[in-house]
Amino acid sequence: MPVNYATPDADQILPVAGVRLGVAEAGIRKKDRRDLTLVALDAGCTVAGVFTQNRFCAAPVQLCRDHLAGGREIRALVINTGIANAGTGESGHQAAQATCEAVGELLGVAADQVLPFSTGVILENLPVDRIRAGLPAALADLKADNWHAAAHAIMTTDTVAKVASRTVAVNGKKVTISGMSKGAGMIRPNMATMLGFVATDAGIAQAMLDRLVKEAADQSFNRITVDGDTSTNDSFIMIASGRSGAVFAEESDAGWAEVGAAIIALALELAQAIVRDGEGATKFITVAIDGGKDSGECRLVGYAIGHSPLVKTAFFASDPNLGRILAAIGYAGIQDLDVDGVRVWLDDVLVAENGGRAEAYQEQDGARVMEQAEITIRVDLGRGNASVTVYTCDFSYDYVKINADYRS
């Protein structure tokens, strides 16, 4: 079960004017499950995205990048689960292209106005015929208030759907923001095995949206790790329809700071939901690194702790074997780190300082914190003013079971 997360009720998820979603059962890998999602965008929407940095990136990722770079107005997204269409060579590219063409024919738009997304098993061919056959049902299901169903349809090993909404009042207008994400394993920054989609009815200039999607990713989906594996298919897409009448052309425009902050906050909520639903997770862990010379070295330490199987298994066992945290800090890659200046806390309990165990630390205090479902590891590097926060979870027996049975 996820750590302190439950999918919001459908009536809590708000429609975004200019964006309609439809789902269908296409039998892409398994029968009798929603596995195909179509998102139709009104004319005038701006769209931006960031994608995996895995060099073995999937065919749909490559096509998305090409279509966004081409400058044509994006009018649709198509998302399938079950098969990742990664490691499929030229046939994979043809399958992704054929999927875009099929959507374009249905909606009356060009293939390069469609962005394709796939998630699931790598090294298996995408059954385009099943997608093509399922698209009419997804088209018939298109509606603005379908985020809840779509969030369920993009799941793979997720145990719950991740979806969120919020509103912001600016300049006498109400701006709506809704989004969904999927992911539970193969989660690591830059980016994780995740798909994320956020839409708003604010109008946002293309250059601003391009910057915002990168900033939002860097503060959310690029700050999470479940198992340290970077996927082939990760994609985070942001859509701005402009239908609210609140339009932003410059960062200095009144109300932009509030809208931008709300979008980033929603992205962080969706990213944290992925960690809370990490495969086999029983604990949600915040790793807060302070006192770095720059954010880069803070990230090194945060990810070293967050990726460490030894740290993560200790947290699963509620075992305050906290020397594992010190070891991770030490091998993180800061060559001139003065360990005598490093301090480490578990929640409010000072664990280590002056190069070793804190004089006042008692193991029962660490054990008390380790029993909690949510824990913060805080590290002060004592080198400067930079800080970074990373979110992770523990490793349990179920993580191994889930991944051992992934293709079953």
- What is the full DSSP assignment across 97-112? HHHHHHHHHHHTS-GG
| Active-site residue flag, 193 | yes
- Position 198, amino acid: V
Q: Name the residue with tokens 């789902």.
A: 23
Is residue 270 within 8 Å of residue 179, measured between CB atoms? yes
| 199 Cβ contact list (under 8 Å, min separation 6) | 16, 19, 177, 178, 179, 238, 239, 240, 241
Strands 114-121 and 162-170 come out as unpaired
Report phi then psi at 144, rounded to 5.
-70, -30
Paired tokens of 287: 């790793």
The DSSP 8-state label assigned to residue 218 in this structure reads H
Paired tokens of 221: 């989906």
Query: Containing H/E element for 366?
Result: helix 363-370
Of 107, 144, 106, which is closest to residue 20 (Cα–Cα)?
144
- State how far the alpha carbon of 215 is from the alpha carbons of 48, 210, 265, 266, 295, in Å: 12, 9, 11, 13, 14
Of 51, 266, 76, which is closest to residue 180 (Cα–Cα)?
266
191 preceded by a cis bond (ω within 30 of 0) = yes
The one catalytic residue among 52, 193, 230, 232:
193
Kindly list the catalytic residues: 193
